[in-house]
């Protein structure tokens, strides 16, 4: 079963950036700017309670942001 994630990935054929749900063939959204894709992806991720995974131009993961039930939440440092 695939993880519940949304990915921000570069589109190598059309240029720009895609917002894709994990396991999906088609993109949920396509934008010219990465900032716009992150904004859309963050909203979709919040609504779905999923994790947002942001990739760089080289395809490597740059950042993750959890909007769901995080199995390993950060501990309180107080």
Would you say residue 25 has pLDDT above 60?
Answer: yes
> Range of 13's domain?
5-61
How many structural domains are present in the chain?
Answer: 1
In a domain, 76, yes or no: no
Q: Whole-model pTM?
A: 0.82
- Give the model's pLDDT for residue 68: 67
In a domain, 78, yes or no: no
Would you say residue 2 has pLDDT above 60?
Answer: no
Contacts (Cβ under 8 Å, ≥6 apart) of 12: none
In a domain, 75, yes or no: no
In a domain, 23, yes or no: yes
Would you say residue 63 has pLDDT above 70?
Answer: yes
- Give the model's pLDDT for residue 1: 41
- Give the model's pLDDT for residue 4: 86
What does each C-alpha distance from 42 to 16, 25, 39, 67, 68 come to in angstroms? 17, 19, 5, 8, 12
- Give the model's pLDDT for residue 75: 74
In a domain, 72, yes or no: no
């Amino acid at each position: 079963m695939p993880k519940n994630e949304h990915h921000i990935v570069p589109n190598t054929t059309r240029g720009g950036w895609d917002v894709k749900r994990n396991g999906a063939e088609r993109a949920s959204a396509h934008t010219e700017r990465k900032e716009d894709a992150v904004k859309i992806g963050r909203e979709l991720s919040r609504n779905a309670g999923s994790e947002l995974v942001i990739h760089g131009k080289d395809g490597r993961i740059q950042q993750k942001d959890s909007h769901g039930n995080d199995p390993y939440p950060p501990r309180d440092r107080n």
